[in-house]
Amino acid sequence: MNDLSSRLFNFSINVLKQTKELPNLTEYNVIRNQLVKSVTSIGANYEEAQAATSKADFHSKVKISLREARESNFWLKHLIELSNNQDKKHIFCILFKEADELVKILGTIALKTKK
């Protein structure tokens, strides 16, 4: 597993651990479901990119990872704003910062591999 793959895996695990602790309320359930799907998709699509059959296939999978990372940022922003607990807010801010860095990394890879 390369460094970025490991980073994406650890990021998704950290987010999943936090979503398990969200209140069982409708609004949180929507955010949890969307965030879990997007955050796990980042790494899954990047892993698929590693086995791409062409440069175009690689680029396509990286672009999907990028979109999913951006979506994860969107949902993490909601959790930051909704959090009344300062410790949880801080954790979501750290996760948001990591997602933002991953967006920049994946965006750079996507730009460099553009057709």
The CATH number assigned to the domain holding 90 equals: 1.20.1440.60
- For the chain, residues with pLDDT lower than 50 are none
Closest residue by Cα to residue 107 from 50, 65, 74? 65
pTM for the full predicted model? 0.94
Please give the tally of structural domains in the chain: 1
DSSP readout, 45-101? HHHHHHT-SSHHHHHHHHHHHHHHHHHHHHHHHHHHHH---HHHHHHHHHHHHHHHH
What letters, b where the CB count within 10 A reaches 16 and e where it falls short, cover 1-30? eeebeebbbebbeebeebbeebeeeeebee
In this prediction, residue 18 carries a pLDDT of: 97
What residue type is 35 in one-letter code? L
In this prediction, residue 107 carries a pLDDT of: 97
In this prediction, residue 53 carries a pLDDT of: 96
**pLDDT, tens digit (0-9, with 9 covering 90-100), for 35-62:** 999 999 999 999 999 999 999 999 999 9
In this prediction, residue 1 carries a pLDDT of: 62
What domain range includes position 73? 3-112
